[in-house]
Amino acid sequence: MTEEEIINTTVHFVKTALQGAEGGHDWFHIERVWKNANTIAKTENVNGLVVALAALLHDIADAKFNDGDEEIGPAMASRFLHSLAVPEATIEHVENIIRNISFKGGHFTQSFSSPELDVVQDADRLDALGAIGIARAFNYGGFKNRQLYNPAIAPDLNMTKETYKKTTAPTINHFYEKLLLLKDKMNTGTGRQMAEERHAFMEIFLAQFYLEWEGDK
């Protein structure tokens, strides 16, 4: 198969696998991350096939929807790519990106690094920022039946990986525990540039949110 055929087949596979997925982690999330990755990759020296496959498969079986199992995603991606006879080195690279792409709390240390991971991780983080990031946060909060905001529950900025996975805190807390931290964790120049405007938009949203919460505006 040509690279184009591999990518097109992967698109079909992901669309099928994610039918009925939660709205913040569905095919359209994947497509946005893929688009972001393509934009960032133009300014980086990376393997385009690895970037495309990792972007398309990074949430094929997100651990948060699979009882916290962090290996089901890499395993599913590996089986699929082997079925297409993708080179072993490419498959291993994609697996490692899937294992290391997620935020997983502020104290998680990646066990793998590559320019391709940098690109796809930035692309995924961008989709957690700005207007889309706000929409996704509240969509997931609704999916988990979480409060919008509770002034009595302060954000926890020192969560371990396990605490982060199990949190049931209000959605507004998630802005401080993850979303507002992402701008300074971007890997690439293009990613940082794209994150600036999205981050600023979230700060404007939060300011308005608190004014409305207090009935001041």
pLDDT tens for each residue of 146-165: 999 999 999 998 877 777 77
Task: Please give the helix or strand (H or E) that residue 75 lies within, else none.
Answer: helix 72-83
Contact predicate 14/30, CB 8 Å: yes
Segment 5-12 shows an average pLDDT of 97
pLDDT at residue number 216: 87
Neighbours of 189 (CB within 10 A): 12
Check whether 172 has a pLDDT greater than 80: yes
Token output for 99:
């294992």
**pTM to 2 decimal places:** 0.91
Average pLDDT on 15-42 reads: 94
pLDDT digits (tens, 9 = 90+) for 43-89: 999 999 999 999 999 998 665 655 555 788 899 999 999 999 999 99
Predicted local distance difference test score (pLDDT) of residue 104: 61
Q: Please give the pLDDT value at position 192.
A: 98
38 exposure class (CB count in 10 Å sphere: 0-12, 13-18, 19+): middle
Overall average pLDDT of the 134-143 stretch? 95
Contacts 24+ apart (CB under 8 A), 133-136: 133/179, 133/198, 133/202, 134/201, 134/202, 134/205, 135/24, 136/23, 136/24, 136/29
Percent of the chain residues topping a pLDDT of 70: 93
pLDDT, tens digit, for every residue of 87-121?
Answer: 999 999 999 999 999 876 555 567 789 999 999 99
Q: How far apart are CA 94 and CA 55, in angstroms?
A: 9
CB-CB neighbours of 121 under 10 Å: 28
Residue % of the chain over a pLDDT of 90? 79
- Cα 213 from Cα 5, distance rounded (Å): 51
In the structure, what pLDDT confidence band is assigned to residue 42 with cuts at 50, 70 and 90? very high
What is the token pair recorded at 179?
Answer: 């979303």
pLDDT at 68: 57
